[in-house]
Amino acid sequence: MPFRLIREFIKLESAAGTILFLTAVLAILVDNTPFAAGYEAFFKTIISFSIGQFQLSKPLLLWVNDGFMSIFFLLVGLEIKREMMEGELNSISKATLPAIAAFGGMLFPAIIYAAINWHHPVAIQGWAIPTATDTAFSLAILTLLGSRIPVGLKIFLTALAIFDDIGAIIVMAIFYSSHISAYMLLCALGLIVVLLLMNYLDVQRPAAYFIVGIILWMCLLKSGIHATLAGIILAFTIPMKSPESTKSLLRTLEHRLHPWVAFGVLPLFAFANAGVSLTGFGWEQLATSIPVGIAAGLFLGKQLGIWGVSMLAVRLRIARLPQGVTGFGLYGLSLAAGVGFTMSLFIGTLAFHSVMPYATFVRVGVIAGSLISGFLGYWILRWAYPTSSVT
């Protein structure tokens, strides 16, 4: 059962990666046509709503980044919880190498970016941008190679991405939260207690969780802690199993949300955030420290962190390579994991709040680093696995 779910996950994520790529290309094209002004004005449209004394008024871009991306993090949380309870992360032996690889894959990109931008007090705020891995894009690269790629390598990448997501969540909570409101934070903590109580009482009604989750999102938004964390918190309170039913509420929600996130939320986020105007943009801007730091972090940092640290762990007998995976194949995967795209762009919006010209620098760096990593990763993997693997 878990193996079948992994295959379904990989298939859906791979298709989503293709859609994401096309959406990103469309955003870049639109932002360099006469429609550019309309494109930018559309996402600056102010949308407001109020409930009694509570009022929210934000540009559409922030509704996408803070609101719709909470649904993405809800799905991420559901996947993490399922994998920790009965999947590829339910034992120390299974989780050791992906965890080590993810840690290295976050540490080295951050060090490289920080080394390049240490002199700039604003630019250094983006140190976490190249630490992310885009699961959909990376799995799409592996899927392009078909049966050449051993299933063990795909499962390893999925597990690595889950640990990478956990790391990104911790980074956002600690380093990209500001102006904390003690009152709203206390309200949020009270709602978390309510969700935990619902889990303890085995409440199986999705609507009840979503209502409390939406209120939690509002409280976190007003508290100064990034609102998307509401999705993660909500996911971890969804019951995995019920003693009174053979159905799993967590599995049901994950299955229903996945297509909406893969083909709705993430393409919308990519279209809203990937637009880069190339007017007046030359090599001088491209060579500034922010895009160079991001691209170098994604391309060099992921190789050093994922492949280098993993091979050291294998050499020290701390962990073992998955079945069918070679050291050269793992190197190709470390390159493919350098495609940061969605999560890197998202962290960039937290670091620089979509302020120009930093937002443009982030987009250029993420796109450049991701393209180089993805292209070379594809060819290294093709070289590492020249014939079909037994799956």
| Residue 184 located in a structural domain | no
| Residue 253 located in a structural domain | yes
Query: Which residue, 58, 12, 18, is CA-closest to 270?
Result: 18
Q: Are 129 and 113 spatial neighbours (Cβ–Cβ below 8 Å)?
A: yes
CATH for 343: 1.20.1530.10
| Residue 181 located in a structural domain | no
pLDDT tens figures, 284-325: 667 789 999 999 999 999 999 999 999 999 999 898 888 788
Query: Which residue, 136, 82, 130, 137, is CA-closest to 106?
Result: 130
* CA 108 – CA 150 distance, rounded (Å): 27
Residue 198 is predicted with a pLDDT of 93
pLDDT tens figures, 142-189: 877 777 788 788 888 888 888 888 888 888 878 887 677 888 889 999
| Residue 18 located in a structural domain | yes
Number of domains making up the chain? 1
Averaged pLDDT, 19-23: 82
* CA 298 – CA 129 distance, rounded (Å): 9
| Residue 189 located in a structural domain | no
Residue 61 is predicted with a pLDDT of 84
Q: How does the average pLDDT of the chain come out, rounded?
A: 84
The helix/strand count (H/E) of the chain reads as: 19, 2
* CA 128 – CA 125 distance, rounded (Å): 8
pLDDT tens figures, 95-123: 889 999 999 999 999 999 999 999 888 99
pLDDT tens figures, 237-284: 999 876 666 678 898 898 899 888 888 888 888 888 777 776 666 666
Residue 314 bridge partners (DSSP): none
Q: For residue 327, what are the domain limits?
A: 2-176+226-384
Residue 18's CB is within 10 A of a number of other CB atoms, namely 14
Confidence of residue 1 (pLDDT cuts 50, 70, 90): very low
Averaged pLDDT, 5-15: 58
Query: Which residue, 369, 133, 363, is CA-closest to 270?
Result: 363
| Residue 79 located in a structural domain | yes
Q: Looking at the chain, how many residues does it have?
A: 391
Averaged pLDDT, 52-63: 79
Residue 205's CB is within 10 A of a number of other CB atoms, namely 10
Burial class (CB in 10 A: 0-12, 13-18, 19+), 386: exposed
Q: Are 259 and 224 spatial neighbours (Cβ–Cβ below 8 Å)?
A: no
Q: Are 66 and 58 spatial neighbours (Cβ–Cβ below 8 Å)?
A: yes
Residue 213 is predicted with a pLDDT of 94
pLDDT tens figures, 73-85: 898 888 878 877 8
Q: Are 370 and 134 spatial neighbours (Cβ–Cβ below 8 Å)?
A: yes
| Residue 81 located in a structural domain | yes
| Residue 127 located in a structural domain | yes
CA-CA distances (angstroms) from residue 236 to 83, 85, 231? 12, 11, 9
